[in-house]
Amino acid sequence: MNIEDIIEERKIEDIIHYTTNSGFTGVLASGHLLSRARLKEDEYLEHIIYYNCERRIRDKEWLDYINLSITTANMNLFGISRGKWHSEMDGWWCLLSFSPEILLHPGVFFTTTNNIYTSVQREQGAQGLNNLFADRIERWSGNVEVRKSHLPFNQPTCNQAEVLYPGELSIEYLRYIYVENEDNQDAVENIIAAFKGLPEFDCQVRPELF
């Protein structure tokens, strides 16, 4: 079984990255979603950066990879970003949904849980993707996530599982922007209208994803 077979069998549709309204604007301005290592190289983005994760000391060798999730956002980290690191932020959050086609791109790694955890399994290819849906995922010694019977077939066993995408991800693969309410949807449409020549993508109100 190859990656395309797994995507089809599990009906994987959304590869998710959460960001702020400023981050979304920066993605459209640059034409790419950039890794943390490349953000400061962009003259525009260096002035509007809100890092999703405050510090990346424990996985600094992976700073040139973009952290993405399959089907749903990493709600543990997303909650900390919203509720702690950026709780006073003057703005709002959105989820960028990329085509699962990007899972076939060269250099992509799959991690069974948060990339910083000591028992993480990190692998490329179809086996790496399959590992995310195992019956048991160990995060660290003594901490195990067991796959729940009610978990959707297209959702990894551990919600903190990651897709690590190298360098930069073109917005030509961006399919949807998910937002929490209609006010944010209007704001997204206004941001999109400020740019010319963008690929086509749709903004949807999906409060259940937040």
Residue-wise pLDDT for 129-181, tens only, equals: 999 999 999 999 999 999 999 999 999 999 999 999 999 999 999 999 999 99
**Amino acid residing at 173:** Y
For the entire predicted model, the pTM comes to 0.88
Residue 77: partners with Cβ closer than 8 Å, 6 or more residues away: 52, 53, 114, 160
The percent of residues above 70 in pLDDT, for the chain, comes to 86
Q: What is the pLDDT of residues 58-101, one digit of tens each?
A: 567 898 999 999 999 998 877 776 655 455 667 899 999 999 99
Instruction: Give pLDDT, residue 40.
Output: 66
Structure tokens at 38: 């490349």
Instruction: Give pLDDT, residue 44.
Output: 46
Q: Are 3 and 125 in contact (CB under 8 A)?
A: yes
pLDDT category at 46 given cuts 50, 70, 90 is: very low
DSSP assignment, residue 109? E
Cα 146 to Cα 36, 117, 133, 151, 159, distances in angstroms = 31, 16, 10, 11, 11
> In whole numbers, what is the pLDDT of the chain averaged over residues?
89
pLDDT category at 47 given cuts 50, 70, 90 is: very low
